[in-house]
Amino acid sequence: MTKYSTNKPESDLQPVTTGQANNQNQSLFEPLNLPTTGQIGSLELRNRLVMAPMTNYSSNADGSVTDTELAYYARRSGGVGMVITACANVTANGQGFPGEIGVDRDDLVPSLNRLAQAIQGEGAAAVLQIFHGGRLCPPKLVNGDVVSASAVPAEAVGSAIPRELTDTEVQDIVTAFGDATRRAIEAGYDGVEIHGANGYLLQQFFSPHSNRRTDRWSGDVHGRMAFPLAVVEAVQAAVREHATRPFVVGYRFSPEEPENPGISMPDTLALVDALVETGLDYLHVSLMDYRSLPHTGDVTRPRLDTLVAQLNGRVPLIGVGSVWSADDALAVLAAGAALVALGRSLVVEPDWAQKVEAGQEAQLRTELTPDEQALLVVPDPLWTRILNAPGWFPVAQPV
């Protein structure tokens, strides 16, 4: 039996022959049941593959999703078990990118539902990533009111000096995360992922570089966890109150920071322990390469291996980072991760899962060319950034 991937011009279709995965790849396609917050059953994922959350800059100015965005997600949802969307801002002053998904208003629920249905219609679970950009928000997107844990700018040249949030404002943002979770439930998602990575607001509160406060949201490594843990509590409370079917809550984190002082690997291991105690349904490490070594703590052991050992099976972990081949994905699982996320590789090869499952690893695309936008179903804003950011994606010139 032969099937063709959807949303490709017919002349450019490459057949994907269905069949059993090679025995060596079978572990990638085993189903996984994630226990869910609120104990309303579990969420069954058809395999161990996840579409990683990747900003695509393609929503409307009001935060609603576009038709091209829907097509982009649908095109990549047919083979993976779970799709984690690009980050969605929980407050108006939390928008970190132009063309970002919004989850800060009730009137966005119908739009959010369209995205959930586009993903679920292809057989994948839909998880909405929710966040606040903090000091990394471009001033023009937040009316110049850039906020953070403290009035400490990011180290990048030209970074805005943020305004330190008041205690009341911090609590309001905690509440906003709970409200965003309710909207995700109403919009039909299967879960939310709290974005505590990549230098955004939750990480800013946990970081000794950006958090110089002297109140209840600060202090030593445990004191700096107060805001992230309060957000987790608010999100879980919303799930318990509003969810009527399985709904997962995950948390993404970056294990280290380049700043000095910054988050160290020992700091992160303490955070991981605290997050496990909250009863989160999964954790998701943010890495550019799953093989990368830390620069603090045990510098001889890959970060992924260290995290797996610390978790010791207490909660599922999603591993990620430069996963291009089936061997890469298998290595992430072999390290002890329960799930493996595909980012750039799924943009370049939307049929990654289908080809690997069919034993066609040799046919995986590993680069794109500037004339393949329609073939790959990528929205204009994301495509433009891909072509204008050397080194981000493997881009070959057309023959």
Cβ distance 347 to 373 under 8 Å? Answer: no
50 token code pair: 């996840």
3-class DSSP state of 393: strand
pLDDT at 22: 62
Q: Which of 72, 73, 200, 251 is catalytic?
A: 200
How confident is the prediction for the chain on average, in pLDDT?
93
| pLDDT above 80 for 5 | no
pLDDT tens-digit profile of 361-381?
999 999 999 999 999 999 999
Separation between Cα atoms, residue 237 and residue 241, nearest integer Å? 6
Q: 78, 28, 68: which is closest to 349 by C-alpha? A: 78
Sequence letter at residue 75: R
Residue 200 falls in the annotated catalytic set: yes
Long-range pairs, 298-302, Cβ under 8 A, ≥24? 298/265, 302/335
Say yes or no to pLDDT of 399 above 90: no
Distance, in Å, from the CA atom of 129 to the CA atom of 189, rounded to the nearest integer, reads 11
The pLDDT score that the predictor gives to residue 23 is: 72
H or E segment at 181?
Answer: helix 167-186
Q: Which domains does the chain have, with CATH numbers?
A: 21-345 (3.20.20.70)
Given pLDDT bands bounded at 50, 70 and 90, which one contains residue 292?
A: very high
Helices (H) and strands (E) in the chain, counts: 12, 15
d(CA 186, CA 203): 27
Place of tokens 């809550």: 249
Query: For residue range 182-196, what is the model confidence (pLDDT) as tens digits?
Result: 999 999 999 999 999
Span 229-265, pLDDT tens digits: 999 999 999 999 999 999 999 999 999 999 999 999 9
Alpha-carbon distance of 200 to 158, in angstroms, equals: 17
The per-residue pLDDT for range 57-69, each reduced to its tens digit, is 999 999 999 999 9
What's the pLDDT tens digit per position in 35-57?
887 778 899 999 999 999 999 99
Report if pTM > 0.85. yes
Check residue 39 and give its pLDDT.
Answer: 74
Report how far Cα 198 is from the mean position of its chain's Cα atoms. Answer: 10
Q: How far, in Å, CA of 314 to CA of 276, rounded?
A: 7
